Structure 1
C-alpha cells in the first residue's frame, strides 16, 4: 500500500485487501494455500480469521479458499448507498425498453470502468454486462466516454501498451487519441466491436461530476444495427442522460468522496 498524506499503510490490512482481491479475481477457481504467494504460517492465520467472518469460504477439507458471502453484502451496500446509482436505475429501465437493447451504468476506477447497474435486452442474453465487471477504459463505449472528459495529457490510462480485447481494440495511443477527439466533437463514444465481437456500443458520460466519472451505454448486436436503429438508440440515450441529470437529488450535505 502506498503512503497517503503522510500516513503509513498498515501491513496486515494491506495483506488482507490483497488476499481478498486475489480471491475475487479467480472467479470459480478456488485457491490453495501455496498459490497465494505469502508465507504459509502468516497466511493460514489470516485465512482462518477471514473464514470465521465469512469474508472467505473454504471446502470441507480446509484446503481450498474462495471469496465469501460477506463480500457480496459489502458490494451491495456500496450500490445501495450511492445516490447516483439509485437515481440512474429507473432511467435505465426506460432506456432499455425504448429501443429494446441492453443498457448499463459504469464508473471509472483507475484505468478501468466498473459496471454498477445493467438492464438486459429481452432479445438476446449476454454475460458481458454483469455488475462488478471491469473493462479497460481504452476499450468500449463506456470506457472511451470517460477518458474523453479529460485532456489528452491527463488521460486515466495505464502506462505502456494498451491491451486488446478484440482485433478492433485500440492498442496504439495515436489511434485512441484520434477516437477520443471524435467523442468530444460528437458528444458520445462508439464501440464498434472493440470489447466483444458482434456488439456495437454507444456511451454517454454523465456530467454531474467534473470531470465525469460515470457513464451509461447501450449495446446492440451488429446483426440488428441499421442506420435508423442507431439513430434511435443515440436519441434515446441522449434523452436518458438529460433525465438522469434532472432526477439526481440535491448535492448539499453529501460527502465529497475521493
Structure 2
C-alpha cells in the first residue's frame, strides 16, 4: 500500500501529535506525587485547555486515567496498572532474577530490589520486602534519580563518563542532604564504585537507609542492578560483610545460569 504524501520526513515516520500528547500526559501523571488538576496539566505540558480536557475525558472513559473523589483532579487509572504489571510479568530479566531475589530475601530478611536504568532515572522492576517492621520499600514502577541511588550508581559505574554525563540532567537535584549534586563528585564516586565492585547509597535517597547494590550483566551491557536496603540502625561491619557476600553469591548464581 502506498504511503500518503508527507507521511515521512527525512526518511523517518513523523510522530502523531495526539499520540505524543497522550504519552506525555500519562508519563506526567505517573511521575506526579499527587493527582493533578486540568490547569496543572495544561500549564505543565503546554497543551491548550480544550485539547487537554478532551484528552483527559477520553482517557477517563477508557480507564487509563481516573477522576478523584472530588471530581476535579486526575490520576492514573486501573488500565495503566494492568499495563505496568504485564510489562514486569513478561520481562525476561525479572523472570530470571526473581527466584534469586526470593532466596536472598529468605537469607537476609531485608528488602531486595531489582531496578533498570531508564534515561537518568532508575525504575524498580521487582521487590522482596523486608520481614522487619522497620523498612522502606520502593514498589515496582517507582522512579528515582540514578545519581542518588546505589542501584543507579552501580549501573553508571560500568559506562564511560561521557555517556553518563550526556544522560544526566543539567542540575543534579538532591533527594536528601547526602545526595551528590556535582558532576565531579559523582564521577569520583563512580570511579570508586567501579574499583570496589559494588555501590553504596549512604542515605542519599532516603535518610536512615543504606543500600548496597551490584550491577547485573545480561547480554553484555549493564542495564540492571540488584540491591539490599537496610535501616542503618540494623547495620554493623559484620552485617554489611554478610550482605555483600550474599549479593555477590546471588550474582554468581545468575552468571552461572546464563
TM-score range, shorter chain: 0.7 to 0.9
- Deviation at 1:129? 1.5
Residue 162 and residue 65 in structure 1: after superposition, are their counterparts in 2 closer, same or farther (change >3 A)?
Answer: closer
The residue number in structure 1 matching 2:58 is: 49
Whether 1:121 and 2:130 are equivalent positions in the alignment is yes
Matched-pair contact (CA < 8 Å) for 2:135–2:231: no
Alignment length (residue pairs): 245
Q: Which moved more, 1:71-80 or 1:207-216?
A: 207-216
Structure 1 segment 73-222 matched on structure 2, within 5 A: 73-155=82-164, 157-222=167-232
The residue number in structure 1 matching 2:234 is: 224
When normalised by structure 1's length, the TM-score is: 0.88
| Aligned equivalents of 1:160, 1:25: Cα separation in 2 | 19
| Aligned equivalents of 1:22, 1:167: Cα separation in 2 | 26
Q: Which is helix-richer, 1 or 2?
A: 2
| Aligned equivalents of 1:79, 1:247: Cα separation in 2 | 20
Indicate the RMSD between aligned Cα atoms, in angstroms.
2.0
Describe the SS at the equivalent of 1:202.
strand
- Deviation at 1:206? 0.5
- Deviation at 1:174? 1.6
Q: Which runs of 5+ in 1 are unaligned?
A: 249-258
Q: Which moved more, 1:82-91 or 1:155-164?
A: 155-164
Describe the superposition over 1:11-68 as per-residue Cα deviations: whole angstroms up to 9, x where unpaired: 00001111112222234x3333222213232222222221221111225775332211
When normalised by structure 2's length, the TM-score is: 0.88
Describe the superposition over 1:106-138 as per-residue Cα deviations: whole angstroms up to 9, x where unpaired: 000000101000111111344442111111111
| Aligned equivalents of 1:59, 1:172: Cα separation in 2 | 39
- Deviation at 1:92? 0.6
Matched-pair contact (CA < 8 Å) for 2:104–2:112: yes
Residue 182 and residue 61 in structure 1: after superposition, are their counterparts in 2 closer, same or farther (change >3 A)?
Answer: closer
Q: Which runs of 5+ in 2 are unaligned?
A: 1-8
